Amino acid sequence: MNKDRIDELVKILNEASQAYYSGQDEIMSNYEWDAYFDELVKLEQETGYVPQNSPTVNAGYYEGLGEKTTHEYAALSLAKTKNIEDLIKWANDKDIYLSWKLDGLTLVLTYDSGKLGSIVTRGDGHIGTNITYMKEAIQNIPLKIQYKGHLVVRGEAAITYTDFENINNLLSDDDEKYANPRNLAAGTLSLDKSNLDKVKSRKVGFYAFTLVHIDEEIISWGSRMQFLKDSGFKCVDYERCNAGSIRECVERWTQIVEGGKMDIPVDGLVICYDDTLYAQGGTVTGHHANRAGLAFKWEDESALTTLKYVEWSCAASTITPVAIFEPVSLEGTTVSRASLCNISEMERLGIGEDEKTTLEIIKANKIIPKCISVKEAQGSFSIPDKCPVCGAKTFIKISEHSGTKTLHCSNEDCTARKVQKFARFVSKQGMDIDGLSVQTIVKFINLGYIRDYSDIFKLDRFMDEIETLEGFGTKSVNNLKNAIEKSKKVHPVNFLYALCIPQIGQDAAKKITQAIGWEGFITRVESLQGFEDLANIGPERSKALKTWFADNDNMHLFDKLVNLLEIENVEAVNNSNGALYGLTFVITGDVHGFKNRAQFKAYVESQGGAVTSAVSKKTDYLVNNDVSSASSKNKKAKELQIPIISEDEFVQRFGGIDA
């Protein structure tokens, strides 16, 4: 009987692990997984029966797609405990380091001769997937370091809660919502080479947590981490302690999480010995090296509460159910709402919609409120047939991949579908309105405060109501008021970018205003005159502008905004006498004289030149400090017989900051 239960638990946990590590829809919470895992460990110890595919003896999940690479050093998992006494006993009389256990995906980076050689996922701990093609799309990964020997670094790829909320709310109809940041990170790192722009937009960051190998002898773990910091790696936070101080350290670090001060997802803490030679001298049992480190996971605190109602919130056409319940105290904060994710999750939980329904709530990773079970369901939930934002009919969409049921708005013009445009409108490159995050915009749309861009500048009508909303208060409302007021004075380049006119980014907006000034732009808009005569605008961008302004709704919105805002009257700039007038450059790779490529580009444009992203027949020079590299841009330039010059050569010929 116990063997049957063990086989059942192994199957349940392995299926959950596959979803966990591959970015599929989440099957269960960490809370539920830990409960099943603890039960499995206990039964295996009692019976001595341990299946070969048991998660107690296998690390991670072996991904089925992509080029496979064998790890030079096995990426074994750590033994786990929820008892501080175990940490004290493990530390013994040794100096140890405490660090975060980030909730993401482990990656292994290898360097030789100062250059990044490979990025490999953890996989099953012995074989992972090679994703080196993502090297420029994942944040915080140095492509070059000063150290010229062989270096192996292990770290976690993670997405912050802030970026997760923003990205999840902006996903298009063809995408699936993700359950949490780790789930989104896993899905992102499973994308192929054709989706690097998407990977980059997801803002996956790499955080080094250990130096696995270096040719030099650095025994101290703390010194090895300092070496990584000095080499340009972003590392997890860590603190030196010992058996006598570890309890106080754990409690203090736990308070950081409970206080909401951690934006990067963590699901526990890790301790390791400072003496790495001592650590390497341990034995390996199953898939744990007994001295490699010990992970500490918090005991999840749960609370029972009564459901008040289910709120349906719409963003990018997806209508998400949220449980609103009687406030409960969890992990030091008061919680009154938790996302139910989708219709399938509501069905899995067996949630009712009557006020007598009893829910069990936790804060996943001590941060995100989550309903993990329904203790007593009264009535059955109903699915709204109208969108809460626009009132249009709703429909249920079933994912071909996972079978997950989600609710959607049928109205193509629903305001909630425009969340991505609102996000661009308030962005730093646009109107630069600090305090209007994507999740706040979604909330205001669902409350009916915002229907078009101009409503943002009329939010003072609702400030008393906003002050009473969860997450707001007098200070945050005043900050929002000030940010909106400050944004009313705007440069035309930022304003044009904010309007989300197809094909008109900051570069195009800058070229237009430099060529004809703001008044010249207004004159052309009012007469529906084209812009194809302007340098680097061309017929396609001109057509996009004319089409946008020919739409009565767009023109009406434009007029409203012009009357509400103070747009700087920028005059046309005549740089036809500049040293680079008529020349087109492509700038690639690292720069050393200019502060960055943006400053380099600004100089070229100030001298009448143009900078494009791709090498073509119209390119006059490719600037690359690695003139002999085999990069695609260098190859293209050689094919077209376009000169490839270094940054120093550029300065010698055309001037610049070092001239």
Which positions are annotated as active-site residues?
101
Can you say whether the dihedral through the CA atoms of 151, 152, 154, 157 is positive or negative?
positive
Structure tokens at 263: 């934006």
DSSP 655: -
What's the CA gap between 551 and 529, in Å, rounded? 14
Q: Cβ–Cβ contacts within 10 Å for residue 404, how many? A: 19
Q: What is the DSSP track for 299-338?
A: PPP-EEEEEEEEEEEEETTEEEEEEEEEEEEETTEEEEEE
Contact 389, 316 (CB under 8 A): no
What's the CA gap between 82 and 226, in Å, rounded? 29
Nearest to 509 by CA among 497, 500, 498, 521: 497
Helix (H, G, I), strand (E, B) or coil at 497: helix
Nearest to 23 by CA among 172, 164, 140, 212: 164
Bridge partners for 238 per DSSP:
99
Q: How far is CA 385 from the centre of its chain?
A: 32
Helix (H, G, I), strand (E, B) or coil at 589: coil
Nearest to 150 by CA among 190, 197, 119, 110: 110
Bridge partners for 156 per DSSP:
106, 207
Q: Residue 359: left (phi > 0), alpha (psi -120 to 50), or beta?
A: beta
Contact 142, 232 (CB under 8 A): yes
Is beta strand 489-490 parallel, antiparallel or unpaired with respect to 566-567? Answer: parallel
Contact 611, 604 (CB under 8 A): yes
Tell me how far CA of residue 470 lies from CA of 89, 428, 466, 473, 476, in angstroms. 43, 25, 9, 8, 11
Contact 102, 236 (CB under 8 A): yes
Tell me how far CA of residue 301 lies from CA of 78, 267, 323, in angstroms. 23, 14, 19
What's the CA gap between 12 and 25, in Å, rounded? 15
What's the CA gap between 455 and 415, in Å, rounded? 12
User: What's the burial of 359, exposed, middle or buried (CB within 10 Å: 0-12/13-18/19+)?
Assistant: buried
Contact 77, 57 (CB under 8 A): no
Is beta strand 621-624 parallel, antiparallel or unpaired with respect to 584-588? Answer: parallel
Is beta strand 284-285 parallel, antiparallel or unpaired with respect to 205-214? Answer: unpaired
Nearest to 293 by CA among 110, 106, 54, 40: 106
